[in-house]
A and B are shown apart, each in its own frame.
Chain A
Amino acid sequence: MDPLLFAEDIHAGYGDIVIVHDVSLRVEPGEIVAVIGPNGSGKSTLLKSILGFVKLFQGKVSYCGEEITGVSSDRIVGLGIGYVPQVNNVFPNLTISENLDMGAYQVRGRASVKASMEEMFSLFPELALRKRSLAGNMSGGERQMLAVARALMARPRVIFLDEPLASLSPKPASIILSKLQEIKQSGVAMVIVEQDVTRVLSVSQRAYVLVNGAIAMEGNAESLFKEESAKQRYLGLHAKAVDK
Chain B
Amino acid sequence: MDVNWAQVLFNSAITGSLYLLGAVGLTLTYGLSSFPNFAHAEFITLGAFLGYTIGTQLGLGLPIALVVTFFTAGLVGLLCYRGIFQPLAKRGATIIHLMVASIALSFILRYSMGAIWSWKPYYFASSWAAFDVGPLRVTGLWLWLIAIAVGLAIVMHLGLVKTRMGKAIRATSSNPDLALASGININKVILITWFVGAGLAAVAGIFRGADTQIWPLTGWDIILPIFAVTILGGIGNFYGAIASAFIIGLAENFGVVGLMALGLSTSYRLGISFVILIITLIVKPQGLAMFFRRA
Contacts and interface: CB of A to CB of B under 8 A. Distances in A.
Interface of A: 51, 53, 72-75, 77-78, 82-83, 85, 88-95, 98, 101-103, 105-106, 134, 136, 150-151, 154
Contacts of A85: 177-178, 181
Given A72-B180, A94-B170, 20 more contacts: A53-B177, A53-B180, A53-B181, A74-B179, A74-B184, A74-B185, A75-B183, A85-B177, A85-B181, A90-B178, A91-B174, A92-B293, A93-B174, A101-B164, A101-B167, A102-B167, A102-B179, A102-B184, A103-B183, A105-B182
Contacts of A53: 177, 180-181
B171 interface: yes
B164 to A, nearest CB: 7
Nearest to A48: B177
Interface string B37-79: 0000000000000000000000000000000000000000000
Interface string B139-182: 00000000000000000000000001001101101110111111
Contacts of B182: 74, 77, 102-103, 105, 150, 154
Contacts of A101: 164, 167
Contacts, number: 76
Nearest to B292: A93
18 contacts: A51-B181, A73-B181, A74-B182, A74-B183, A74-B184, A75-B183, A77-B180, A77-B182, A88-B177, A91-B179, A93-B174, A98-B170, A101-B164, A102-B182, A105-B168, A105-B183, A134-B293, A150-B182
Given A51-B181, A85-B177, A74 B168 contact: no
Contact of A88 (B164, B168, B178): B178
B294 interface: yes
B117 to A, nearest CB: 41
B181 A136 contact: no
B186 interface: yes
Contacts of A92: 174, 293
Q: Which of A83, A85, A105, A154 has the most CB of B within 10 A?
A: A105
B295 interface: yes
A74 B295 contact: no
Given A74-B186, A102-B171, A93 B294 contact: yes
A94 to B, nearest CB: 6
Interface string B282-295: 00000000000111
Given A93-B170, A93-B295, A102-B168, A88 B184 contact: no
A77 B170 contact: no
Contacts of A95: 294
A101 B175 CA distance: 15
B51 to A, nearest CB: 35
B289 to A, nearest CB: 9
B169 to A, nearest CB: 11
B292 to A, nearest CB: 9
Given A73-B180, A73-B181, A134 B168 contact: no
Contacts of A93: 170, 173-174, 293-295
Contacts of B293: 92-93, 134, 136
A83 B181 contact: yes
A108 to B, nearest CB: 11
A91 B186 contact: no
A94 B184 contact: no
B88 to A, nearest CB: 18
A106 B183 contact: yes
A156 to B, nearest CB: 10
Contacts of B183: 74-75, 77-78, 103, 105-106, 154
A53 B180 CA distance: 9
B174 A134 contact: no
A106 B171 CA distance: 14
B12 to A, nearest CB: 29
Contacts of A90: 178
